[in-house]
Structures are given as C-alpha cells and as structure tokens.
Amino acid sequence: MFHGTLTAFSDEFIGFAERGTTRYALAYRSVDHRSIRELCDEVGKATPSGKYKPFTPAGGWSADILAFAAGLISLQEKRHRADYDPDYQPKQSDAMTAARTARSALARLTAIAAAERKAFLALLAFRPR
C-alpha cells in the first residue's frame, strides 16, 4: 500500500507520463511511512484537528478514503509486528488476507472522486501547520 500510495501521489503531482524521470523519483521519495500514517490517523478522526479542518471536505471524508486509511493503518501495524516481534509467526492465510486488504484499499484510493483524492494527496505534500 505504501508504494501504491506513492505512485498515486507522484502521478498526481508530477504526472504519469513523467515516470522514470528524476522529478518523479524526487516526488516519490519525498513521502515517508510516518507521514502517511499520521495523515491516515487524522482522516480517521470523527472530528478533524484544527490544523486539518480547513482542508477536510465539507461533508467529511468519503467511505472509500476512510476504508483506505483504515487499511493502511492496519497493514502498517501488521508489518511492524512482522518486522519487530521475534515471537510472531504469521500463517500463509495471514499473508493472503493482508494482500487482499491491500488490493481492496488501493482500489478504493483509485475509486475516490478526483477532487477528494487530490485533497488527500495534497495533505501528504503540504502538511498543515
């Protein structure tokens, strides 16, 4: 999901036709795991914090973006557990479920209305202060 999000981000701001260029790589590498996680945490809040409120869609985030954010958070937690918990023994079914979750969440990111997707991705690029 991380790389799918970075691809959507870079396609939005640099352009699909620019894949393979240094500008595209610069955009792609400009977002880190923590930034995406913090934004997804913020998107999942019932009431946005003050600095995010002006940039939240008037009716709130759609069900698709909420599901995308929840999926990203869940998978990042699973990845951290797999990377850092030496006692964790995932099963093949865990990996298959994670892959389905990632595919579904990325499909939701693609399905989001263009204006909402751009608003979400812009918050990755331009963090409110």
pLDDT tens per residue across span 31-63 = 999 999 999 999 999 999 999 999 999 889 999
- Domain assignment of residue 118, yes or no: yes
Q: How many domains does the chain have?
A: 1
- Domain assignment of residue 8, yes or no: no
- Domain assignment of residue 17, yes or no: no
Closest by Cα among 81, 79, 84 to 101 = 79
Query: What is the CB neighbour count within 10 angstroms for residue 34?
Result: 9
- Domain assignment of residue 52, yes or no: yes
Q: What pTM, to 2 d.p., does this model score?
A: 0.88
Residues spanned by the domain of 69: 33-125
- Domain assignment of residue 74, yes or no: yes
- Domain assignment of residue 95, yes or no: yes
- Domain assignment of residue 109, yes or no: yes
pLDDT tens per residue across span 71-99 = 999 999 999 998 999 999 989 999 999 99
